[in-house]
């Protein structure tokens, strides 16, 4: 019984910690509650995040604020067309040792931090974008045959302008799949615009409190993995992923008509990881079907590839994912 009470206490503390971090971020960032929640759930699930929105919506400021509230080592990389892979990973340089002889020594790049802001990631060339693949997938980088471990915890929080804007390169599908979710940053309301102006154009500036540190973040990641997932919920998630494939018998007509490729296994893993983190952050010990439905859109919107007909008709991936959720939910009388 004592261990059960202990776990209950841990989950209660985790929910309280999430609430305090969230409130501290909101004391500086105006609006964007859904974005804040999704980014925090991603961090506590151990995943990377891609934020997409028009310039000037506060994507960079949000990430810097989260890093400060979590007291994590922060690094920013401004992606540009002339950025080289070694500019972000680091390189081996010749330097004298104690005996005056020249030897190679590794100089870390800005990728070696807890939270790495990949700002405007789609402005870099595909060669430089792909330099992040190993770091995001394996949490290592290989320089001249030597493998270097990334910091713990390690997150890439990337910002992206819409791909139809001038001077951008669409991210390759293999890299998109490394992001646990893709978060759309919306335009603020009139009231939020007014509050932004008040907070940013006055004399006084907000001072952020460091709510947790590295050890607490690692503990929360570990605790999130202990959240229970029933077989019924897991089956529901599997059916959801399967229904994104046009050749699946469970797929709705919209998927069969407009989708070329659906989500892979990493999509299912990300969905379960995020759902566990969301459940933990509200003090629950198990994943609910509501967690799966709530997270399906940010987790899957970057994992579906439309066919020519879908592109030509201007069909959005969000429409298709929403249709998949409604379709599977309509069939899922066995899941309460």
Packing angle of the helix pair 2-26, 265-281 (nearest 10 deg): 90
Query: What is the SS3 assignment for 45?
Result: helix
Residues 185 and 242 in one domain: no
**Per-residue buried b or exposed e for 120-155, using 16+ beta carbons within 10 Å of the residue's own CB:** bbbbbeeebbebbebbbeeeebebeeeebebbebbb
Domain membership flag for residue 181: yes
The whole-number pLDDT of residue 147 equals 80
CATH number for position 328: 1.10.8.80
First to last CA, the chain: 29
Residues 273 and 247 in one domain: yes
Packing angle of the helix pair 317-331, 289-300 (nearest 10 deg): 160
Domain that holds residue 259: 227-336
Domain membership flag for residue 5: no
Domain membership flag for residue 267: yes
pTM of this prediction exceeds 0.75: yes
Residues 218 and 107 in one domain: yes
- CA-derived radius of gyration, the chain: 21
Where a domain ends, among 189, 222, 255? 222
Mean pLDDT by 10 residues, the chain (336 residues): 71 87 84 87 91 81 86 88 84 73 77 88 81 82 78 88 68 84 86 80 73 88 90 93 90 89 90 93 89 93 90 89 88 46
Q: How far is Cα 255 from Cα 317, in angstroms, rounded to an integer? A: 10
Residues 173 and 244 in one domain: no
Total domains in the fold of the chain: 2
Tokens 């439309």 locate to 306
Residues 40 and 16 in one domain: yes
């Amino acid at each position: 019984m004592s261990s059960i009470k202990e776990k209950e206490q841990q989950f209660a503390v985790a929910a309280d910690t999430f609430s305090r971090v969230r409130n501290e971020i909101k004391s500086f960032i105006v609006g964007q509650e859904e974005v804040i929640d999704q980014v925090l759930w991603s961090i506590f699930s151990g995943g990377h995040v891609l934020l997409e929105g028009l310039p000037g919506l506060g994507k960079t400021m949000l990430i810097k604020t989260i890093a400060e509230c979590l007291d994590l080592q922060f690094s920013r990389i401004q992606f540009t067309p002339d950025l080289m892979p070694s500019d972000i990973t680091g390189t081996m340089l010749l330097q004298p040792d104690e005996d005056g002889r020249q030897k190679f020594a590794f100089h870390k790049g800005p990728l070696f931090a807890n939270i790495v802001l990949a700002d405007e990631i789609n402005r870099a060339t595909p060669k430089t974008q792909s330099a992040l693949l190993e770091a995001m997938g394996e949490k290592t980088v290989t320089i001249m045959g030597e493998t270097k471990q990334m910091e713990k915890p390690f997150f890439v929080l990337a910002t992206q302008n819409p791909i139809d804007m001038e001077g951008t390169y669409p991210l390759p599908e293999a890299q998109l799949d490394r992001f646990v979710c893709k978060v759309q940053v919306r335009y603020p309301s009139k009231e939020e615009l007014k509050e932004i102006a008040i907070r940013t154009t006055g004399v006084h500036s907000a001072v952020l409190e460091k709510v947790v540190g590295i050890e607490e973040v690692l503990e929360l990641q570990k605790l999130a993995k202990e959240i229970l997932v029933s077989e019924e919920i897991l089956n529901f998630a599997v059916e959801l992923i399967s229904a994104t494939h046009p050749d699946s018998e469970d797929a709705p007509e919209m998927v069969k008509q407009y989708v070329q490729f659906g989500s892979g296994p990493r999509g299912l893993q990300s969905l379960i990881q995020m759902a566990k983190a969301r459940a933990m952050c509200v003090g629950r010990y198990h994943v609910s079907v509501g967690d799966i439905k709530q997270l399906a859109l940010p987790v899957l919107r970057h994992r579906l590839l439309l066919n020519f007909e879908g592109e030509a008709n201007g069909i959005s991936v969000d429409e298709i994912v929403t249709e998949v959720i409604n379709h599977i939910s309509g069939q899922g009388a066995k899941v309460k």
